[in-house]
Amino acid sequence: MSAVEETADDSLYPIAVLIDELRNEDVTLRLNSIRKLSTIALALGVERTRNELIQFLTDTIYDEDEVLLVLAEQLGNFTPLVGGPDHVHCLLSPLENLATVEETVVRDKAVESLRKIADKHSSASLEEHFVPMLRRLATGDWFTSRTSACGLFSVVYPRVSPAIKSELKSMFRTLCRDDTPMVRRAAAAKLGEFAKVFEKTTVVEGLHSSLTDLHVDEQDSVRLLTVESAIAFGTLLDKANKKKLVEPILIELFDDKSWRVRYMVAEKLIEIQNVLGEDMDANHLVALYTNLLKDPEGEVRCAATQRLQEFAVNLPEDKRQNIICSQLLAVAKELVTDGNQLVKSELAGVIMGLAPLIGKEQTVSELLPLYMQLLNDQTPEVRLNIISSLDKVNEVIGAAQLSTSLLPAIVGLAEDGKWRVRLAIVQFMPLLASQLGQEFFDEKLLPLCLNWLTDHVFSIREASTLIMKELTQKFGGQWASTNIVPKMQKLQKDTNYLQRMTCLFCLNTLSEAMTQEQILKEIMPIVKDLVEDDVPNVRFNAAKSLKRIGKNLTASTLTSEVKPLLEKLGKDSDFDVRYFAEEARNGWLFLHSIVLSKKMLFRSRLVIGHITSQIGIS
């Protein structure tokens, strides 16, 4: 055997291994080989791939679901590997088999791949190869093939002849009346998508009867899918047909006997409003919506309440304020005392958004009492949602009217037994500071922030150190020197080493919001003291702090103030302290080298500019 032949054999050996693995009893090896199917196809060439590999895959389609799932995905990208669009129809056979298997995710992936390769077919090829396959799937004995067929009509219909279009309409209508609920469910899910590829003049004639049948189906799992289909129809029809054919169906779905259907209506409420809003009496639609807000099922009330603000925004501007005050707020007053905590939580998250829509006077008289009730609710999430949306009310009525009633709720949340609730209110503090002003913050809220620095949960202490930077940026370095630094000086002397570490963490964030003079005067003395701490954990955190604080100091200050401290820590008896001191020192040297490089580059440019000007003069 020649050297060239031996080299060729060696290069093909891994491919041979992959092909053997396709037949292996070990599912892991088969899965590995399927994932590399494109590599095998490239090695075989387009002709052998079409004639041998695709045929092999078609014959051995019965495998583990995870193998079939990967295979279905791979085949969707096989068009160039079988010779391009002229030969793409050879992929239909294995994908057709995959579209009939029992496992839903495999069928869905096979349909996805079939939709992908349908675009690669010419119109003639679609009619010759794809449509017969779709016909077989749609008339198959097993429901699995018929459910898969429902997802393929929309990609075929626009590109076939009128005679075949008529046949496809008939097939789809038959699937909509199928005896098996799973098939009707699949048809209902794809009805809107299919309608969108119809000629607008034929939508009513072709598919409206199917929508009418499905929206009164005995299975609620079918009816709930017609909500989206009806919305799709509404976007396609003219004003007269929409009012006559779509509006009655959607109105019936609002009052459906199944809570799952009503839940879907609530989920799609804004889309329904956009479709029907202009042509339907606003009071009629509001009445349907308020029925959802009063629904006996908590899940429906939750979904409807979530959309309160957006629904109100979409109301006709000339009627908006009157509808909100006379109808929506009447229901909201009932929801404030709802027995379901999730409903109240959703209401608290959206009700503040009504304030800009009804103005100051109505907000004070109608909304403010509801806010106060929600602020006094026993559920922390309800109070948090109100506080997180205060900016919307603050813009309308100002902070003065809010502050008195707001404080007890904030104090209650700040001292809540659940640390996650405390964490959430910590993170809201910068927002509250900007809304309520420095004077109110210093008097009422600053003590809470300082107390969080000694909370027994680390996440609370860490979050409180982070907000100190934002507060300092908001109120200024002098404010931090007056209000925060004294607390740091107390923590610096605390007997608990964890509090001394919190002090360092806080100084790290403060240094990023203070001037160099303030850092040297207020922060560095505390850090210098903690460099001498008895506990190694505190000393190596002091080294970390020096590295971070050093980023906000000039090179000369680093040399005079930071370098001696790092050299001292570099000789510490504890290995970790020495390690972090060396790391901080290397970071400082790197920073110093960047500064020097910038200076040298600036001087070089000056010299080059000077030389250039001299040459120009001469």
**Are 356 and 395 within 8 A, CB to CB?**
yes
Q: According to the model, what pLDDT value does residue 2 have?
A: 42
Residue 535, number of CB atoms within 10 A of its CB? 14
Encoded amino acid at 349, one letter: G
pLDDT less than 70: residues of the chain: 1-24, 60-63, 279, 390-406, 587-618
For 409-422, give one letter per residue: b (16+ CB within 10 A) or e: bbebbbebeeeebb
**pTM exceeds 0.85:** no
What does the CA dihedral 478, 481, 483, 489 come to, rounded to 10 degrees? Answer: 180
CA angle 526, 527, 529 (to 5 degrees): 65
Print burial letters for 121-135: b (CB count within 10 Å at least 16), e (below 16).
Answer: beeebbbebbbebbe
**Burial class of residue 78 (count of CB atoms within 10 Å of its CB; 0-12, 13-18, 19+):** buried
Round to whole Å and give the CA distance between 442 and 444: 6
Domain 496-617 is of which CATH architecture?
Alpha Horseshoe (1.25)
Determine the pLDDT at residue 92: 86
Q: Phi first, then psi: what are they for 367, rounded to 5°?
A: -85, -40
316's CB contacts (< 8 A; 6+ apart) are 282
pLDDT, tens digit (0-9, with 9 covering 90-100), for 562-585: 888 888 888 889 898 888 888 888
300 to 138, 216, 284: CA distances (angstroms): 36, 20, 19
**Tokens, residue 313:** 């925004």
Q: How far apart are CA 40 and CA 53, in angstroms?
A: 9
Q: What are phi and psi of 460, to 5 degrees?
A: -70, -45
Tokens of 64: 């583990």
Structure confidence at residue 503 (pLDDT): 92
> Considering Cα of 138, then 139, then 140, then 143, what sign does the dihedral take?
positive
